[in-house]
């Protein structure tokens, strides 16, 4: 299970202000906290970044990698900013991850960048008609994304299929469809396709005290279905990861297993 720390997002007021002021300390602090809780990659979400996107991406990637020995997931819809991040990324600790592409032709340039720099990419199962209705439609879109990746010369092993987690408060039935889609995605290829979710999307709009509860239990179900990676707050899920790894035999049990 690849745990990608989600907390360095421009949506956060603290992160947004740090980006504007070029204040490295809050960025470093959040990166280190996520690393200490078990993150194996750090998400750098700068949004559309229409102004100074390249500069912003270069700055945050450098700041993160000055703080922790981890690769970075690059999240922006600005292709120039994405490429700037790919260029400056220190691959000593692993390849960066492109977040993301879809079947929207305007996003195909992300396939081009993934091929050019030989890096993995997240493929959102969003079709031309909008959000998928069910697991089967997600699979149909996933097949098209796989075909598109082959067209661009990208190995299927470098594709992370994202079934698109939606808010449970407004689309409760979609949670089950996401679980089913993760299971079905694995059957599309041998070796199985990699899968990824943005976990906290599930609890968006819910009361603050309920969000960690919803996120953790959904994450446990996703792990059971074979999820490969998740963009999460690692502090919320580290106990889930360790416990399920013990129960499924991936980690040897010890009384202190949660401390390991």
> For residue 205, is it left (φ>0), alpha (ψ between -120 and 50) or beta?
left
Q: Can you tell me which residue has the tokens 């270069």?
A: 58
Phi/psi of residue 123, nearest 5 degrees: -115, 110
Distance between the two ends of the chain, CA-based, in angstroms? 16
Closest to 165 in 3D by CA, of 107, 241, 222: 222
DSSP-based three-state secondary structure for 248:
coil
Cβ-in-10-Å burial (0-12, 13-18, 19+) of 158 comes to middle
What are 125-131's contacts with CB under 8 Å, separation 24+? 125/161, 125/162, 125/163, 125/164, 125/181, 126/102, 126/164, 127/103, 128/103, 128/104, 131/164, 131/166
Predicted confidence at residue 259, as pLDDT, reads: 79
The CA distances from residue 194 to 74, 173, 186, in Å, are 18, 23, 7
Q: What is the pLDDT of residue 125?
A: 97
Q: Which residue has the tokens 């996107």?
A: 53
Domains (range + CATH), the chain: 2-234 (3.20.20.20)
Closest CA to 72 of 163, 84, 170: 84
Which pLDDT tens digits describe the chain residue by residue (260 residues)?
Answer: 999 999 999 999 999 999 999 999 999 999 999 999 999 999 999 999 888 999 999 999 999 999 999 999 999 999 999 999 999 999 999 999 999 999 999 999 999 999 999 999 999 999 877 889 999 999 999 999 999 999 999 999 999 999 999 999 999 999 999 999 999 999 999 999 999 999 999 999 999 999 999 999 999 999 999 999 999 999 999 999 999 989 988 889 988 888 77
Non-local (6+) Cβ contacts of 220 within 8 A are 240, 244
Q: How many CB atoms lie within 10 A of CB 184?
A: 19
Report CA-CA distances (Å) from 7 to 15, 75, 193, 199: 8, 12, 26, 12
pTM score of the predicted model: 0.95
Does the CA dihedral 98-103-107-108 come out positive or negative? positive
**Dist CA 49 CA 215 (whole Å):** 28
Give, for 3, the enclosing helix (H) or strand (E): strand 2-5
In a 3-state reduction of DSSP, which class is residue 52? Answer: coil
The neighbour count for residue 22, using CB atoms within 10 Å, is 12
CA distances from 142 to 100, 133, 146, 162 (A): 14, 14, 6, 9
Q: What is the model's pLDDT at position 255?
A: 87
């Amino acid at each position: 299970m690849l745990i990608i720390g989600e907390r360095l997002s421009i949506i956060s007021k603290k992160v947004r202000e740090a980006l504007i002021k070029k204040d490295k300390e809050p960025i470093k602090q959040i990166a280190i906290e996520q690393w200490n809780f078990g993150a194996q990659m750090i998400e750098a979400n700068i949004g559309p970044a229409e102004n100074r996107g390249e500069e912003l991406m270069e700055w945050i990637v450098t700041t993160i990698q000055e703080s922790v020995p981890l690769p970075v997931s690059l999240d922006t819809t600005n292709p120039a900013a994405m490429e700037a991040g790919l260029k400056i990324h220190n691959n000593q600790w692993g390849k960066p991850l492109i977040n993301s592409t879809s079947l929207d032709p305007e996003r195909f340039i992300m396939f081009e960048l993934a091929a050019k720099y030989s890096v993995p990419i997240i493929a959102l199962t969003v079709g031309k008609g909008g959000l998928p209705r069910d697991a089967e439609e997600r699979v149909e879109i996933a097949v098209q994304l796989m075909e598109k990746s082959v067209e661009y010369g990208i190995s299927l092993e470098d594709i992370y299929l994202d079934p698109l987690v939606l808010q449970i408060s407004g689309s409760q039935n979609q949670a089950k469809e996401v679980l089913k889609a993760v299971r079905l995605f694995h059957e599309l290829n041998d070796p199985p396709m990699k899968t990824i979710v943005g976990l906290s999307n599930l609890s968006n709009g819910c009361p603050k005290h309920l969000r960690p509860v919803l996120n953790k239990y959904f994450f446990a179900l996703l792990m059971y279905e074979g999820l490969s990676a998740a963009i999460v707050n690692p502090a919320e899920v580290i106990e889930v990861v360790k416990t399920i790894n013990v129960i499924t035999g991936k980690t040897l049990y010890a009384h202190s297993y949660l401390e390991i």
